[in-house]
Amino acid sequence: LHPGKSLYRVLLDSVTLSDESVKFQIIHEKNKILLQVEIYEIEGNIFRLKIDEASPLRPRYKVPDVLIKEPTTQRLFISHREAGILVLSSVNEDYKLQITANPFQVELQSKGETVMSMNSNGLLYFEHLQSPPSDRYTQNEEAASDSSKEKQEDLGLWQEKFGSFLDIKAHGPTSVGVDFSLHGYDHVYGIPQRTETLLLKNTSDGDAYRLYNLDIFGHKIHDKIGIYGSVPLLLAHKPSRTSGIFWLNSSETLVDISTKAVHTPSRSAAEIAKQRAVPLTDVRWMSESGIIDVFLLMGPTAFDIFKQFAQLTGTQALPPLFSLGYHQCRWNYEDEQDVKAVDAGFDAHDIPYDVIWLDIEHTDGKRYFTWDKQKFQNPRKMQEHLKKKKRKLVVIVDPHIKVDPSYTLYAQAKEKGYFVKDRNGKDFEGICWPGSSCYLDFTNPEVRKWYADQFAFKTYKASTNILFVWNDMNEPSVFKEAELTMQKDAVHYNNWEHREVHNLYGFYQQMATAEGLIRRSSGKERPFVLARSFFAGSQKYGAVWTGDNTAEWSYLQISIPMLLTINMTGISFCGADVGGFIGDPEPELLVRWYQAGAYQPFFRGHSNMESKRREPWLFGEKNTQLIRRAIRERYVLLPYLYTLFYRAHAAAEPVMRALWIEFPGEVETFDVENEYMLGKQVSYSLEFEIPVFQRGGTVIPLKTTAGKSTEWMIDISYELHVALDKEACAIGELYVDDGHSFQYLHKKQFLYRKFTFHKNVLSSSLVKLEILQIDTNTKSLERAKPIRETKKINWEIRK
């Protein structure tokens, strides 16, 4: 489809208003199919547009569970009506929606200025549900060899072949799409995940950006293909405003972007003289199925966008403090002796660390929730040893389940019907690490509850309260299938095809896992779950990372824009494998990667089975010293980092920020991706030898020294670093709680102080957090009230 006049027209006599929304129908001039349009204004400068068939043959898929609640709406009213035009105004008179009837178009204006318009290029399309071709030959797979041209064309809509793979669309083609024009914008960001620059590029001469979660080993740099996760949120920024588009659809989605200069018609000679081209960015969204359900986030600042998105999908879960320490991982630490030796190595070399990780080889034949009886003969004792050292263990738990009737987990899930089915109603079987595997259907709430119960201490044998979880391969990854993932015609709970829910699969596994860890502690302890696949809202359940990167300089460089993009779409707790997962980094690259990782939200060293061992002390004394210093700097910085995570949790402020977010009026920052800010106060640059700077006018809380792990540091004093601005003033904050429980929420047990340096006096006061704190686990909203807590604080002022 190319831009042109839309074939849809509004039926103006169908307009109805209610307290919740404005509804009307549009008709396709050729096929006469009616679509129902619903427009909502949501509190806090958000508009929602939904388009569905007026009377579909069967309900179309609508994404559940991503929005934390049904959003609170405000009444829209008709403020102006003339031939073929309807103007809707909101209680907040700044905004107006102008609806043009023929062709159908919606324009969103703020204080008389057009910010965004929908369908202005006439690219709205909506493949309506139809009965299968009359003679039912689509159900006969041999029909693919039928040579009659007409049948082939008809069939092409109902089934597709990819090499030897056949995808049969049970309900036929159901794609949807529409275009948006962003007026005055030529900088757009977001729509992770891909190995790509911070600024999204024009796609007019190449592939569209793709949102489709896939297991792509050693993903290529500067590729528009989607990798492990998808957040269908796009941000547009210009010096005067930031806007956002959140496209709520979990099927395969393509995004086309075209930026051009538009000359505005001028009214006078004087205006013509100073007329300049105004940028315009067209963004076209296309999804394989579902309905059109889109949220227009009006900002007007980037921080308003972050709050608006969090209001819809939730904020970042507050991580347990240990998970902000350093994590040591490898595929694989061989056995209990290896784990003990690596743990002892950190102490011997005076390098802090908090968590050691076990990949798939720790299990009994890749049966998750089990232990290899030879290599891990006494896992409980191993965990007791780590616990005495005040450290934690993370184990891998993937979504594929080995087909083995003697494996309790498989037998139970099989009997209860908890696996995803193939199109013929049998359990879908695919190949993954254990060999032949079935895949749990996490879209089913009953399966999620049962799965969460598997983490109970009595059920998960030899697990203890220092064991936490890593969900990998949850795109889902299926070896030997098209694109290494599940067939689109596999069938989930409530008979939905996999194509409808694909991008939600990992989101649901992480949700169930986090719930399981909370439940095993009777709701007292915060979970830690790292997941490879994610969607909008995954921030409520834990952390994500950038997957199977490579030990090359270019992957260190691209990790920064990748993480900045994930942060600006709601997920602050993210990181990249330090050193690169694939291959062997040269020592200087490894050192540099530690220095970068120490200033990123999730900090984990990880390597592939084929890689040489790379514990931090294996590269000679000089490099050991440099890595030790980087990791110790991370531990000293934890009070500041933990405070940032509290602000992410309570106020939806990203931990790691692109420079333009902090300097929205400075155009030269809009494409910077080799520098970034940690909060408002610390900037990191990949270009300098000493890459960390403190912003003038800030106070940063630190620990006076690092300990062996976060738990060893509880009684270490704090110090404040004060960097004065031109007026010799500075402000900063410190948030402290017990670091592991939900007491901060349920019992309001935390300390939150603001530090002010003014007229040569440093003072400390209580922070009154006026914002609502979202408890994303119980979905309740509670106001935060701090309690008094005393800690020794060293007041150190550095001018």
CA 330 to chain centre: 24
Nearest residue to 544 via CA among 520, 508, 510, 496: 510
- Computed on alpha carbons and rounded to an integer, the radius of gyration of the chain in Å comes to 27
- Packing angle between helix 587-597 and helix 621-651, nearest 10 degrees? 30
Q: Would you state the structure tokens that stand for residue 249, as one six-digit string?
A: 């659809």
Place of tokens 């795109």: 475
Give the whole-angstrom CA distance, residue 403 versus residue 242: 50
Does the active-site annotation cover 475? yes
Residue 711 has a CB neighbour count (10 Å cut-off) of 18
Given the residues 354, 472, 489, 662, the one annotated as active site: 472
φ and ψ at residue 246, rounded to 5 degrees:
-110, 110
SS3 annotation, 320-342: CHHHHCEEECCCCCCCHHHHHHH
Q: Where are the beta strands (DSSP E) in 410-553?
A: 429-432, 435-439, 467-471, 529-531, 543-545
Residues 313, 315, 316, CA angle at the centre, nearest 5°? 125
Torsion sign (Cα): 190, 195, 196, 197: positive
Closest CA to 579 of 537, 531, 619: 619
Is 472 a residue of the active site? yes
Which of the 8 DSSP states describes residue 427? B
> CA distances (Å), 294 to each of 46, 155, 241, 244, 291, in order?
10, 31, 20, 10, 9
Contact 574/566 with Cβ under 8 angstroms?
yes
107 is catalytic: no
DSSP code per residue over 750-780: -EEEEEEEETTEEEEEE----SEEEETTTTE
Contact 69, 779 (CB under 8 A): yes
- Which of the following is catalytic: 41, 215, 293, 475? 475
Q: What is the DSSP letter of 611?
A: S
Name the residue type at position 62. Answer: K
Cα–Cα distances in Å, from 750 out to 7, 615, 744, 767?
Answer: 58, 36, 5, 11
The Cβ of residue 161 has, within 10 Å, a number of other Cβ atoms equal to: 11
C-alpha–C-alpha distance, residues 520 and 538, integer Å: 21
Contacts of 560 (CB under 8 A, 6+ apart): 596, 673, 674, 676, 686
Residue bearing tokens 């909370």: 518
**Beta pairing partners, 783:** 772
Contact 98, 117 (CB under 8 A): no
Distance CA(620)–CA(635), nearest Å, equals: 23
CA distance 502 to 63: 11
CA distances to 4, 371, 493 from 280, in Å: 17, 57, 42
> What are the helix and strand counts (H, E) for the chain?
14, 44
Element (H, E) at 400: strand 400-402
Q: Work out the angle at residue 792's Cα, subtended by the Cα atoms of residues 788 and 796, and round it to the nearest 5 degrees.
A: 120
- List the catalytic residues: 472, 475, 548
